[in-house]
Structure 1
Amino acid sequence: MSFLPPATSDLLQRWLTSIAALDDASDATTEAYRADLVRFFTFMNGHLEEPAAPGPIQCIGITDMRAWMAYERDRGLSARSLARALSAVKSFYRWWAEHEPFDPTAILSTRSPRFKRKLPRPLDEASARKMLETVELQSTTGWAAARDVAVVTLLYGCGLRISEALGLKGRDYPLPDMLRVTGKGNKERQVPVIEIAKRALDRYVRMCPYELTPTGPLFMGVRGGQLSASIVQQSVRKSRMQLGLPETATPHALRHSFATHLLNRGGDLRSIQELLGHASLSTTEAYTSVDAARLMEIYSKSHPRA
């Protein structure tokens, strides 16, 4: 950020420190916000034809904001990415206005570009079960096959992210009825552990040739270190090819499947939100759209046409 005036650079760093401390934002999130704001200030530096010092960037108007958004779209930024960048800019200005007396209305009133949300792409229940069975066939080493089954069973049976499953430690075994998981932004939640997941993990631990330590990884690689997510992804990729499933059948799709199948069986959105660790209910509501889309597909295939 050497091109930024020192006062602006200091403001940005103070804001990033604030959201890391108060909002418990992850390192990845704060770095993404930093990049968004640096690009914004870089544009304004040229657009305003003066350094992006606190004085000039406090006076940004709606036409300046529109010029920035047009520039970002012209350089190929998607509507979704631009919406995220605008959200970061607004968050920064909202924080700044709380600490210094100026009017950020032009920035905060800027409309976000519309974009079509990508719907989750879950597997149907039969395909999810077949995936669990087929993953075991992808490794010629018995204990590694049992390990991979245990991982994907946690993804589908408990709705874990792959990073959450691979982040489990030796001290987490044996799994309790309610597992405490640390998710995005270091936010903790509790998820129930179904019996099939416990059995899959028991089998893996019995067969694992390495000693588990309390602070070491629960899931081990073939050389004794922590299991890499790429190994699980490769196993799932081979399985989906054998089963003739689409490319959207990924480890993360098993988490989507967990949520969708719970919803189909009468689970309520608020509970599913808590199980998934979604910060916003609107994120979880995407699964209702999946269900509606599935019903419309069935309807369109079965309804008699005139």
Structure 2
Amino acid sequence: MHKYVLKRLILMVPIILGVIFIVFTITSLTPGDPGRMMLGMTASQEAVDKLNEELGFNDPYVVRFAKYLGNIVRGDFGKSYKNNQPVFDEIFARFPTTLKLALASITVTILIGIPLGVLAAVRQYSKLDMISTVSALFIAAVPSFWLALVCILAFSLHLGWFPPNGIGSIAHYVMPTFTLSVVYAASILRMTRTTMLESIRQDYVRTARGKGATPAQVIWRHALKNALLPVVTSMGMSFGGLLGGAVVIEQVFGMPGLGTLLINAIKMKDIPQVMAITIFLATLFCTIMLLVDILYAFIDPRIKARYTS
């Protein structure tokens, strides 16, 4: 197991380097320059050129990329063009908001998606199966920003149940969590239903029934455990997507998380901030997927035996 974890950690290095190269190249090709963004449209061209020269923006692409990689190796990710503060100071200040939203959303996703998926598979072709499957397909096709706007109109402006924006209390997280979780729950529900339909037809399920196991034991103890592997993978990817992909929802609900910070940094062409957020989220996603692979060993003993052999 230790060798496997070490191998995966080493493989993360080229992945992160690839992400750095792609994002750095894209930001370099986008129009505009940080000097103009920082000084404004009324600043003189001489002042803008001077600031760009100080920031190293006028250097060739290869020189800028090599300097950036060298600074990363030394632990220097640069300072934000916006406030001249270390980029990770702002990231660590914003990350708790995004993490709370992601944890709440993935929890609700699991509580909705897995039980409904299991029940839909066990009662295949029933009214519950038809309603849950059709609802999941409909919700999966609905854009999250549209659902967020509908929630604001219905539950905030008309009913006044929840605040429309901010992060001051738990109530501020209800609508963003609902908006994100129902979309991901629809995917988890369909995935769980599919894997459960395959699992309940296996020989070991018939053997468990022949030995006198109750229907609940057969479903929740035998069939579900073997059907969880692809579901766990999907949940890990969903959680990683929630950490880095809640950009639109944070914007709609006015939440000062990483998504809002990333959008503002892109608008300002704040390259150090954009790069730092991207590296942080890429590393976080790779770590989550590593933990998912390790979790496989606790779900399926065969995988654990392969790791330890």
TM over 0.5: no
Q: Which has the higher contact order (CA 8 A, sep 6+)?
A: 2
**Which structure's residues are more often helix, by fraction?**
2
What range is the shorter-chain TM-score in?
under 0.3
TM-score (norm 1): 0.23
TM-score (norm 2): 0.23
